[in-house]
Amino acid sequence: MRRLPQVKTLVIKIGSNILTNNSTIIDNNYINNLAKVIGELKSQIENILIVSSGAVAAGIQVLGLQEKPKEISKRQACAAVGQPKLIQIYENAFEHCGLKVAQILITKDDFSNRRRYLNAKYTIRELFSNNVIPIVNENDTVVVEELKFVDSFGDNDNLSALMAGLIGAELLLILSDVDGFFTADPSKDKSATLISEIKYFDSKLLGMAGDSITSVGTGGMKSKILAAKKALNAGCYVGIINGKDPENIKRFLNGDEIGTYFSHLEDPLKKRKLWIAYAAIPKGEIVVDEGAKKAIVNDKKSLLPSGIVNVNGRFNVGDVVRIVDQKGKELGRGKVRYSNIEIEKIMGKKTAEIINILGYKFSDEVVHRDDFVLSDFLEG
Ligand SMILES: Nc1ncnc2c1ncn2[C@@H]1O[C@H](COP(=O)(O)OP(=O)(O)O)[C@@H](O)[C@H]1O
Ligand SMILES: N[C@@H](CCC(=O)OP(=O)(O)O)C(=O)O
């Protein structure tokens, strides 16, 4: 038996593969069973939020296509017609259990704006207090770029980790069509074995995780592992389980040793740093010398103007930028206290000179330690 944390807020991520029969037909029966299980769980877990994929798959079905289109605009059209269909199925299923659902469509851009990010949190809090189950998906129709670009969450595994951080969930359960995380993709390597528990996050894990091999899945196991890392950094435990049987959700929560459990939280990021690390889209880049690199990475100090050698991009006070060394390696991300124009004037100078150069001084630091996140917490 596993010992799980006390769960007051749970995020459940549901992938396209388990929502569909033959990859393109949404399985209404499955959603009914899932709603029944979630309805039963509501008596013990106060807040449950679902991140559901399946809009594109549902759209393929509605438009009578044979497979997922290759062109982005066609896929976006599928998502546009599929999303209402999907929500309608969820709504009917949860109605039978006496529960209401809400639809939340979100983009990376929404998350990158701190006010909108916090607003989403307050809205979800209100929905929870009305006993509503929010169902979240990426707003695929308005995302400009294709997967993995800065403009998009890339996949719903990532989105589910960000949602878990946003609402302070204790547990994120990722439901997929495999029994958990294996030492290699089990559909390709028959000797692969299930990893039941992961205590320490290690970059070797990414080497074992492959991409999706199905026509409707998006990120494969790789994106689930990256999402798990983000959720753990946000202070949320993670489980990856086979969701084909929704009863597995109850089994996992009861402590049965199914799926893969990420059981160890090291030193979670504070809420504010979480937004800097995962939600904000960096607006530019500050290049630092070796001395500043040592100060911010090893000595955990703030970034002062004297160690800055270059600045790229246009940004304002309060924006998030990447901090890189002279070889272009990302050292971390931070919220700046000066704009790029001001930094261009004060870089390489001592803090005592800021006031003479600019005629004012907001702060000694260009990026304060409290507003800086080391690259260890970022992707990969
Ligand atoms: N190490 C691994 N362990 C388990 N599954 C893996 C692994 N590497 C790759 N995969 C693949 O990831 C798939 C699940 O991801 P994906 O197709 O994106 O589904 P979903 O729609 O559930 O997000 C599995 O079906 C499997 O083929
Ligand atoms: N937003 C897309 C799903 C993207 C995605 O990550 O899919 P999946 O790998 O099935 O969770 C949709 O609703 O079709």
220 and 246 share one domain: yes
Single out the residue in 252, 273, 294 at which a domain terminates.
273
- Whether 350 is in a domain gets the answer yes
Look at the block and give the residue holding tokens 């307050």: 122
- Residue 2 resides in a domain: no
* Residue 22: per-residue pLDDT: 66
- Residue 26 within a domain: yes
Nearest Cα residue to 72 out of 189, 151, 162, 172: 151
- Please give the distance, rounded to the nearest whole angstrom, from the Cα atom of residue 176 to the centre of ligand 1: 7
The annotation status of 222 as a binding-site residue, yes or no, is yes
Which pLDDT score is estimated for 380? 52
Q: To test the ligand 1 pocket, which listed residue (172, 214, 218) has its Cβ within 8 A of the most ligand atoms? A: 214
At which of 217, 250, 273 does a domain end? 273
At residue 149, the pLDDT reads 45
363 forms bridges with which residues in the sheet?
none
223 is in an annotated binding site: yes
Cβ(237)–Cβ(10) below 8 Å: no
Q: Which residues of the chain have pLDDT under 70?
A: 22-23, 144-152, 212-218, 379-380
Ramachandran sector of residue 6 (left: φ over 0; alpha: ψ -120 to 50; beta: rest): beta
* pLDDT score recorded for residue 322: 97
- Residues having CB closer than 6 A to ligand 1 are 15-17, 53, 176-178, 181-182, 184-187, 208-210, 212-214, 217-221
Task: Give the domain-ending residue among 213, 243, 273.
Answer: 273
Do 289 and 319 lie in one domain? The reply is: yes
Half-sphere exposure of 364 (CA within 13 A, CB side): 6
Q: List the structure tokens of 66.
A: 């044979």
- Cβ partners under 8 Å of residue 22, min gap 6: none
Please give the distance, rounded to the nearest whole angstrom, from the Cα atom of residue 155 to the centre of ligand 2: 6
pLDDT in tens, 163-186: 999 999 999 999 999 999 999 999
- Indicate if the alpha-carbon torsion angle 329, 333, 334, 339 is positive or negative: positive
Whose Cα sits closest to atom 2 in ligand 1?
Answer: 185
CA distances from 255 to 49, 214, 239, 252, 316 (A): 21, 30, 11, 5, 48
Q: ipTM value of the model?
A: 0.96
Protein residue closest via CA to atom 3 of ligand 2: 53
Report the predicted TM-score, pTM, of the whole model to 2 decimal places.
0.90
Residue 215 alpha carbon to ligand 1 centre in Å: 12
Nearest ligand for residue 76 CA: 2
Rounded to the nearest 10°, the torsion over CA 94, 217, 123, 169 is: 90
345 is in an annotated binding site: no
The pLDDT value recorded for residue 51 is 98
Q: Which atom of ligand 1 is nearest to the CA of 184?
A: 1
Going by alpha carbons, the residue nearest to atom 2 of ligand 2 is 53
User: What pLDDT sits at residue 32?
Assistant: 97
Give CA–CA dist 1/263, Å, rounded.
13
- Rounded distance from Cα 232 to ligand 2 centre (Å): 22
Which one-letter amino acid corresponds to residue 144?
Answer: V
Q: Examine residue 3 and state whether it is found in any structural domain, yes or no.
A: no
Strands (E), 246-305: 260-262, 284-288
Residue 124 lies in a domain: yes
* Residue 44 placed within a domain: yes
Kindly state whether residues 295 and 167 are assigned to the same domain. Answer: no
Task: Determine, yes or no, domain membership for 373.
Answer: yes
CATH number of 313's domain:
2.30.130.10
Q: Answer whether residue 157 is part of any domain.
A: yes
CATH code for the domain in which residue 75 is found: 3.40.1160.10
Determine the atom of ligand 2 nearest the C-alpha atom of 57: 14
Ligand 1: distance of its center to the CA of 322 in Å?
31
d(CA 187, CA 178): 9
Domain encompassing residue 229: 9-273
Residues 128, 254, single domain; the answer is yes
The pLDDT, as a whole number, for residue 67 is: 84
Strands 308-313 and 284-288: antiparallel
Q: Token pair 């202070």 is at which residue?
A: 235
3-state SS class at 240: strand
Q: Tell whether residue 140 is among the known ligand binding residues.
A: yes
What are phi and psi for residue 197, nearest 5 degrees?
-140, 140
Distance 83 CA to ligand 2 centre (A): 11
Mutate to test the pocket of ligand 2, among 162, 174, 218, 240 (most ligand atoms within 8 A of CB): 218
- Nearest by Cα to 333 from 323, 346, 345: 323
How many structural domains is the chain composed of? Answer: 2
Which ligand lies nearest the alpha carbon of 224? Answer: 1
What is the residue-averaged pLDDT of the chain? 92
Closest ligand relative to 155 C-alpha:
2
